[in-house]
A and B are shown apart, each in its own frame.
Chain A
């Protein structure tokens, strides 16, 4: 069964750090573009970071660049997002999602999503 399961969310103070994880099953994450998408309370979707299947292409949106780091562990078939210098505006549900296998990252859309993990940044 193709599945993504996120974990690691929680409550953290502004300026703090957190690492969220995404465990994949039923497919190999290094065969696909993988992305982290967040959704603030009552807000829309925002693709904040993605990694290509080869690992050679990594992208961040400007608001998280220098603070967040995407990585993966092929042996554990897992994707990670290390978040540092967290801000109140980073409060959101964080989803990992599967993209395409190949050079066009969303050629088949984001076709598999996890259930999300909630990150709350508050003092």
Chain B
């Protein structure tokens, strides 16, 4: 098994870029997904296969994964993006969720 580390919180001003990281040894060798969870709601998939967006997810959301760190980038952040974000790393034999990052749009 492995553990994924995320910063507990990230703050960003409206219109700016938010970067949320997810770290583990050799995470770049695993597949990473990202989920957005707004208060009181179920999680929503925003990135899969490290970089791909499901249909309906705005282009403002992008992902990368290399080395020990995967990053979710939200460009031109809006108030509606305020939520908890969870990374999920997995491979053929194991998987884990990160502890989540609370994104605050100030």
Contact = CB atoms under 8 A, between A and B. Distances in A.
Interface of A: 37, 44-47, 95, 97, 104-111, 113-116
Interface residues of B, number: 20
B20 interface: no
A44 B49 contact: no
Interface of B: 31, 33, 35, 42-45, 47-49, 54, 86, 88, 90, 92, 95, 97-100
Nearest to A113: B42
Contacts of B33: 106, 109-110
Nearest to A95: B42
B48 A47 contact: no
B48 A45 contact: no
A111 B90 contact: no
Contact of A46 (B35, B48, B90, B97): B97
B43 A113 contact: yes
Report, nearest first, the 10 A-B pairs whose CB atoms are least far apart: A109-B48, A109-B33, A113-B42, A109-B45, A45-B97, A44-B100, A44-B99, A111-B45, A106-B90, A45-B86
A119 B48 CA distance: 29
